[in-house]
A and B are shown apart, each in its own frame.
Chain A
Amino acid sequence: MTDAAICELRGVQKSFDRGGRKPLRVLEDIDLAIRPNEVVCLIGPSGCGKSTILRIFAGLIRPTRGEVLHHGQKLDGLNPGVAIVFQSFALFPWMTVEGNVETVLRATGLSEKEVGDRTRHAIQLVGLSGFERAYPRELSGGMKQRVGTARALSVDPELLFLDEPFSQVDALTAEGLRAEILDIWDDTERNPSSILVVSHDSREVVYMADRIVVLSANPGRVRTILDNTLPRPRDARSPEFLRMVDKVHDIITSTELPDVTVTTAEASVGLDILEPLPSAHSGDILGLLEFLEGQGGSSELFQVAAQTRVPFERVLNSVKGAEMLDLVDTPRRLVVFTPLGQRFVRADMDERKTIWRDQLLQLRLFRIVKDLMELRGGDVSKEEVVQEISTRLPMEDPEITFGTIVAWGRFGELFDYHEEQGMITRA
């Protein structure tokens, strides 16, 4: 099986240097193959390194450990068969639509005639005929991404990589583009043979993928690979489709909220285990609680995302945050108030802050900060706290964790933070 793969990662690990501090490990033990004629989607929470995996496959980034194989050969440098469609389009603003496509073809050393022919064909393929002389700034987001797609297809890539391609495109346009790209891919006689999509949208993933790779974060690991055998073309409203979306949701949730599937008693109470903070803003947690109250005290996790139109990932983080503060509980996929949460949401602002502050002090991380402040006579520098976080939570990005600590601490008036001096002081 593995011999047939176009491209493969074996035992790939990646860490980024952070100038002096301990390197941040973003990927751990990744084994992943892209086979001919399939669409593979990577999905997972932020920080799971999906874009890094894509760039390692493309040869733009080298793995710290492990190897990349291309048709069984060890890949050294750029992957010759890959073209990428970027999230931010990455078009040259000083070139016309035509110029953007021609440029990459010229770089491959084709004859002028061939460049012209291929450009015309690629532009026609994505439905941009008539816009050849337009500049990117004259085009809408969807049109720009068509140019990005045309440019990628023009070099006749064996593998087409899409890096969150539609997150800056409106929903309606995105739906059309997805279908068109699948149509182009469907022609098995022609390239691209396979497509790799990085996405954070579970519906997009179920719509496009043959195999769905769910990643967990900090460091990024392959959690599950899900085979998606729904017949094409897929109908996003069919019950099978929706069931599949639910299944993806379940897996992501179980990676993020362990007690959904694993019900170990009091997992987080162990004194020496430091729980990482989810990067949720206090405002989001407050919003979640208000929403829950409006729903009568409980709601289904995905309903929260669907009804508030907040990205699922952000909802998940807010729920995790609220759960850490013991304001909500999550039996299976439900989110329900705890008695304390009930009291919190009915209280006035002063009492809310008191509850919040008391709950913060239940968390080890905040007690550590508090102890540090006492030790230093009131003020403690950001460097010191960040240092402390990176030794105690080696898998987390300490800058992000620090941001969350500051946001939560400020809301609870536990301490104050002066951004310019980088000092935490007494409130």
Chain B
Amino acid sequence: MSDTRSALARIRGRGPAREGVRHWWVQRMTALLLIPLVVWFVIGLVIHTGADHAAVSDWLSQPVTYGLMLVLLGAAFWHGALGLQVVIEDYIAGEWRKLALVLLSKLACLGLFVAAYVALTIIAFAG
């Protein structure tokens, strides 16, 4: 049997994800970004424990809060989509089922981010 491909070319794309290092890298970069943002958000939530609609709207309408919430939710749902993908690839057998679930989970994360973006924009600009 003759195979002119290199050892690297033969082994590439054989893992359950069919890809390389980019997924791993983006997962770490979003994780780093989320560390300060999560701390900031939890402090904000704790301060507004039991607050009424006016107080929470005021907080979410501030330009800094609006911007940081968008970055936080964008990074969180991106990080979450990558994490869900790894779990699905590890535990779901069958190529089509795996592919369908990965796509569905990514669509769900995208949908949730868009919903959050619309809601935050309404609160900040139309509230």
Decide whether A and B are members of one complex: no
- Name A residues whose Cβ lies closer than 8 Å to a Cβ of B: none
- Name B residues whose Cβ lies closer than 8 Å to a Cβ of A: none
